[in-house]
Amino acid sequence: MKVLIPILSKKEDSEEFIKKASAKAREIMLLLVIDTSPSMTSGFTAAEIAQGQKVMDSVRERIGKMRKSCDTLLKWGDTKTSIDHTAKLRKADSVVLLREDSQFFSEIVEFLKKQKAYRVRTVEVRGAEESAEE
């Protein structure tokens, strides 16, 4: 199974999240989107490229220790559209997101759930169980 994991916060580096997100995956793609929209209040902005890259590299290293294939991608543009296009172009079976309590996150999940080319899973790491959304 091909899994796309967008790096939307600095929390994806969690060991628990990585294990849950990569379970059953044979190929993992990490996507860091640098959102250029002026209304951007969450995720990574152009000023935070180095921070985002550091998180992505750390996640990639942890996945490598689990002996799974992992590609990293960096894209500029709208977060929702970049995740959707990448998932479709790379033929991902699912997009796995770390659950957050924010309007930004809710909008992304709502947008992605409307797409039929892949499954959307959200993972919570605060001790709560994983939930799948389709």
User: What is the total residue count of the chain?
Assistant: 134
pLDDT of residue 84: 97
CA distances from 89 to 2, 30, 67, 93, 111 (A): 12, 14, 24, 11, 17
For the chain, the domain total comes to: 1
Find the largest Cα–Cα distance for the chain.
39
pLDDT, tens digit, 9 for 90 and up, residues 107-134:
999 999 999 999 999 999 864 334 444 4
Torsion of CA 83, 32, 96, 29, to 10 degrees: 90
What is the value of pTM for the model shown? 0.85
pLDDT of residue 47: 64
Structural tokens at position 83: 């995740």
pLDDT of residue 50: 82
**Domain containing residue 72: CATH number:** 3.40.50.620
pLDDT of residue 44: 66
Closest by CA position to 128, among listed 84, 98, 90: 98
For residue 109, the enclosing domain spans: 2-133
pLDDT of residue 34: 86
Per-residue pLDDT band for 30 (boundaries 50, 70, 90) equals very high
